[in-house]
Amino acid sequence: MPISLYGFLEGDTVGLLILADDGDTLEVLAGKLQAAASLRVAARDVVRVVYKDQTMDPTMTVAQAGWEALDRFDVLSG
């Protein structure tokens, strides 16, 4: 099931609306945000997904993480 999220990539100048599937892993989600912001931010190989100040397990799915529509997530270096 699709879910719209506010994504913020470290290095970017604006937050983006990211359409995730609840079966997407957070690693896949980080890739979607990096691709969406690639005009302004160079892709990084090693990133982590942060939600409510917690670094998340990248193998977890959006559904497992319990995220809801219009939640904020961040993708940071390292």
Q: Which residues contact 76 (CB under 8 A, 6 or more apart)?
A: 10, 47, 48, 50
Residue 46 makes contact with other proteins by CB under 8 A = no
Residue 10's nearest CA partner among 39, 26, 32, 33 is 33
- When binding is defined by CB under 8 A, the residue of 22, 23, 55, 70 that contacts other proteins is 70
Asked whether position 2 contacts other proteins by CB under 8 A, the answer is no
Is 55 an interacting residue with respect to other proteins (CB under 8 A)?
Answer: no
Torsion 51-57-58-63 (CA) sign:
negative
Nearer to other proteins by Cβ, of 14 and 59: the residue is 14
| Beta carbon nearer to other proteins, 59 or 76 | 76
Q: Kindly state the smallest distance separating residue 1's Cβ from other proteins, in Å.
A: 14
